[in-house]
Amino acid sequence: MTDATDAVLDSVAVDRAAELIAQATNIVVLSGAGISAESGIPTFREAQTGLWARFSPADLASPEAFARDPARVWAWYHWRRTLIARGGPNAGHHALVSLAATQHLHIITQNVDGLHQAAGSASVTELHGNIWRERCSNCAHRRTARIAEAQGDAPVRCADCGDLMRPDIVWFGEHLPTRALATAEQAVADADCVLVIGTSNQVYPAAAFVDTVVAGKATVIEINPARTPVSGDVDCCLRVSASLALPAIVAALDAGQPSR
Ligand code: NAD
Ligand code: ZN
């Protein structure tokens, strides 16, 4: 956790965020690992709790790692799926569902956990794939991941060609899915208000969206307990957890007036 995690909710910033959202007609959310942190899913980059503090990305999330030791990579993703299944969506994910009931809202996420959809968000673009899908490393075969199956965390083989199945996610050194990228670019170009939630804005090319947004015409709200490279350039900063900030913004909007 960051040293700002215990920060108090700033009601002036909540009111400002609610005002910017109320004025907008086309809202885009750019979400990162931080929105799922309070579901018990470690983020990648935080020094104390981030996944990479204990594991090296090169050992686990790259095609080379999978070629070298598929069982180890498979076991790691199996462990992450159990964490996600156990944690489920949190108040931040749920608040975005509430927000979409009254606002035109599209979510672009770097997360692979599927928790926006699990909460009930319908309009979601996944830039890095989804941990609940698996695909063959050789042919076009895909299937839904099953955490409770007999193989446990052992690598699964393709039912069509016998090659190894792998998580249908974008690993380091791989390209982002073309269609998701195009959808995200269009959504960001059309947005008049962008919420940047729980991302360190350091992992490219996803971070480029944030750079584009802060340079553009849309108003930008950042929700993150820690400062990021774009914090100085946004219209409104809520330096608290997403599960605290988002329900407060929804409540302020529901009240139709600034929160007290
Ligand atoms: P990151 O780990 O680089 O950054 C996480 C950010 O979230 C940090 O800036 C941190 O201050 C902030 N944060 C921590 N707790 C928060 C909270 N409660 N509320 C709001 N913000 C909080 O993650 P990233 O920017 O998403 O990029 C890293 C990569 O990690 C991405 O490629 C993503 O695909 C991947 N990833 C995904 C998951 C997931 O699916 N849940 C988990 C870990 C990493
Ligand atoms: Zn196959």
Question: Can you give the three-state secondary structure of the chain, one letter per residue?
Answer: CCCCCCCCCCHHHHHHHHHHHHHCCCEEEEECHHHHHHHCCCCCCCCCCCHHHHCCHHHHCCHHHHHHCHHHHHHHHHHHHHHHHHHCCCHHHHHHHHHHHHCCEEEEECCCCCHHHHHCCCCEEECCEEEEEEEECCCCCEEECCCCCCCCCCCCECCCCCCEEEEEECCCCCCCCHHHHHHHHHHHHHCCEEEEECCCCCCCCHHHHHHHHHHCCCEEEEECCCCCCCHHHCCEEECCCHHHHHHHHHHHHHHCCCCC
129 lines ligand 1 (CB under 6 A): no
What digits encode the pLDDT tens for the residues 99-130?
Answer: 999 999 999 999 999 999 999 999 999 999 99
225 lines ligand 1 (CB under 6 A): yes
Residues labelled catalytic: 128
Report which protein residue has its CA nearest ligand 1's atom 19: 241
Task: Name the residue with higher pLDDT: 235 or 211.
Answer: 235
Q: Can you give the pTM of this predicted structure?
A: 0.93
**In which region does residue 162 sit, left (phi positive, over 0), alpha (psi from -120 to 50) or beta (all else)?**
left
Least confident of 58-62, 132-136, 224-228: 58-62
d(CA 77, CA 79): 5
Query: Residue 255: how many CB atoms within 10 A of its CB?
Result: 11
d(CA 218, CA 24): 9
Within 8 A by CB and 6+ apart from 174, the residues are 63
133 lines ligand 1 (CB under 6 A): no
Residues 209, 215 contacting (CB under 8 angstroms):
no
198 lines ligand 1 (CB under 6 A): yes
207: which 2 tokens?
């971070």
Pocket test for ligand 1, best of 3, 43, 231, 243 (most atoms within 8 A of CB): 43
Residues 81, 131 contacting (CB under 8 angstroms):
yes
User: Does 1-39+89-128+176-260 match 41-87+130-169 in CATH topology?
Assistant: no
The residue written with tokens 């042919």 in the block is 139
Instruction: Give domain 1-39+89-128+176-260's CATH number out of 3.40.50.1220, 3.40.309.10, 1.20.1250.20, 3.30.1490.20.
Output: 3.40.50.1220
Task: Name the residue with higher pLDDT: 79 or 53.
Answer: 79
Task: Name the residue with higher pLDDT: 93 or 47.
Answer: 93
Residues 131, 74 contacting (CB under 8 angstroms):
no
Cα(143) to centroid(ligand 2), Å = 11
- Percent of the chain exceeding pLDDT 70 equals 92
d(CA 24, CA 219): 9
Cα(96) to centroid(ligand 1), Å = 17
**May I ask the CATH class of domain 41-87+130-169?**
alpha beta
Say yes or no to pLDDT of 153 above 70. Answer: no
All structural domains of the chain with their residue ranges:
1-39+89-128+176-260, 41-87+130-169
Say yes or no to pLDDT of 3 above 80. Answer: no
* Mean of per-residue pLDDT scores for the chain: 90
